[in-house]
Structure 1
Amino acid sequence: MSAVEVIRASVLGAVPHGFLGRRGGVSTGDLAGLNVGYGSNDDRAAIDENRRRAIAAILPGAELATVHQVHSADVVYVDGPWLQDQRPRADAMVTDLPGLLLGILTADCAPVLFADVEAGVIGAAHAGWRGALAGVTDAAIAAMEQRGARRDRIVAAVGPCIAQPSYEVDEAFRERFLDADPANFRFFVPGPAGKPHFDLPGYLAIRLDPAGIARVDVLGLDTYADPDRFYSYRRATHRGEPDYGRQVSLIALPAKSA
């Protein structure tokens, strides 16, 4: 049995966390690996086992909380896991409770994990271009502050997502960002076909800087370009595959010792 690959960010230190890809799971076929997405057509038992393995790789015995992600800037406080059909519609979570894993599912969008170790507050955000532009990371930071975190202590890591060389967009997409801030031109370059290519992780990193975040780590891993390691919605679409898997990024506060 292959081990679950756990990618960690140095900025998060000893905080239990990990950006997981597709390695170490039991799903087969086009979704082979550690697919954790109930929205896929994968076997439910395989997804359940993959989620169990993901939890065990980060914080054995923890409970997992996920939300119904809708590409918004909405954030919720988590005091326990929800039933699958009762998850709130949101794209960021925060908690100050130990032993509870916050899980963000992605397949090209960026997972962003946050921690203020001194305050004992963590957060997790799902940042596709819509959520990023709408300010989902700002909303997560503000919600962490409400629980006692401080921006000058919060650290953040931007995990595997689609990178600029793989992220061709159209001119209307580019104009949305320029309308929001003309300085956003720096996140676009012409691609081989002449269309703009967008730097999602770069945009998120720069957006976190004026928010006052102490340190930001961008892992620089391209989900589209590495099919052996990551799921990618865009790659599956380009290949004409009927379905695509989802990977999970996890963060928790360690359980308090008795």
Structure 2
Amino acid sequence: MLEIITSDALAPRHGFFTRKGGASSGIFAGLNCGTGSTDQAEIVAINRARVADAVGLSPDALVTVHQVHSPDVVSVTAPLTDRPRADAMVTATPGLALAVLTADCQPVLFADAKAGVIGAAHAGWKGVRDGVIEATLSAMEALGAQRRAITAVIGPCISQTAYEVGQEFYESFTDDTPEAGRFFVNGNGDRYLFDLPSYGLWRLREAGVGHAEWTRHCTYRDPARFYSYRRTTHAGEADYGRQISVIRL
């Protein structure tokens, strides 16, 4: 059975899917929806079809992009025949589901329910630092959304206690934005621990959304429910699965 995390704050149908209930096996065991993984393509297709069915749509209405850790956003009006290189999507077209894949990065789902505009962003450290959140909000406004009416929810991602980074990483955030230093604490030796979801919430609130929250699930700390790139790396495994997060009109 699929496990779907939802937020009462988001009116449109949506879900942050865990790894439970999928057809994949081995290191991908569960609901691996990552076409970029080395999992069997036909099994990934089965998993994605289960997700589409769970939100009441056909698999071709489940829209994803070729994620590249960028601030780039695509406005979608119909199912995509090719996946553009981008990390966020927006739409005002009923019958489409916007979906992002993650395995420690932040999945962010957006909605202005009154205007009938939704968005989804893959917001890893680089994308959120470089403006994918703000770009998504601007693209939603171009479709008629009002920023103060937008709700944004960050789904399962890596938490601060598991996210150790180095000095160069720290400086890439604080050189231009010193106040970003509040999202780092000292770790072992010369290392820092970075609070990715709190940084994402700060960027959302600074951008002027009406409501922003995090589901408070850590992908690294809960291997039974979530895939994690960093946990896989620490374990020396060859590859890892990807969670899917979906919102539809």
Global fold match (TM > 0.5): yes
**In the aligned structure 1, how far is the partner of 2:205 from the partner of 2:148?**
11
Q: Letter of the 2:170 partner, please give it.
A: R
**In the aligned structure 1, how far is the partner of 2:248 from the partner of 2:152?**
14
**In the aligned structure 2, how far is the partner of 1:115 from the partner of 1:180?**
30
Q: Do residues 54 (structure 1) and 19 (structure 2) align?
A: no
- Which residue matches 1:17? 14
The alignment's C-alpha RMSD in Å is: 1.1
- Which residue matches 1:26? 23
SS at match of 1:47: helix
Number of equivalenced pairs: 248
Q: Letter of the 2:19 partner, please give it.
A: R
Q: Do residues 204 (structure 1) and 200 (structure 2) align?
A: yes
Q: TM-score, normalised by structure 1?
A: 0.94
Contact 2:153 2:212 in 1 (8 A): yes
- Which residue matches 1:256? none
- Which residue matches 2:221? 225
Aligned counterparts, 1:190-201, within 5 A:
190-192=186-188, 194-201=190-197
Aligned counterparts, 1:157-172, within 5 A:
157-172=153-168
Q: Do residues 42 (structure 1) and 39 (structure 2) align?
A: yes
- Which residue matches 2:64? 66
CA positional deviation for 1:180: 2.3
Contact 2:57 2:95 in 1 (8 A): no
Which runs of 5 or more residues in structure 1 are unaligned? 254-258
1:152-183 Cα deviation digits (max 9, x unpaired): 10000000011100000001100111112101
**In the aligned structure 2, how far is the partner of 1:160 from the partner of 1:4?**
16
Contact 1:157 1:217 in 2 (8 A): yes
CA positional deviation for 1:18: 0.3
Q: TM-score, normalised by structure 2?
A: 0.97
Q: Letter of the 2:90 partner, please give it.
A: V
SS at match of 2:145: coil
Q: Do residues 119 (structure 1) and 141 (structure 2) align?
A: no
- Identify if the C-alpha distance between structure 1 residues 60 and 81 changes in structure 2 by more than 3 Å, giving closer, same or farther: closer
Give me the identity figure in percent: 54
- Which residue matches 2:248? 252
**In the aligned structure 2, how far is the partner of 1:57 from the partner of 1:23?**
13
**In the aligned structure 1, how far is the partner of 2:189 from the partner of 2:163?**
12
SS at match of 1:180: coil
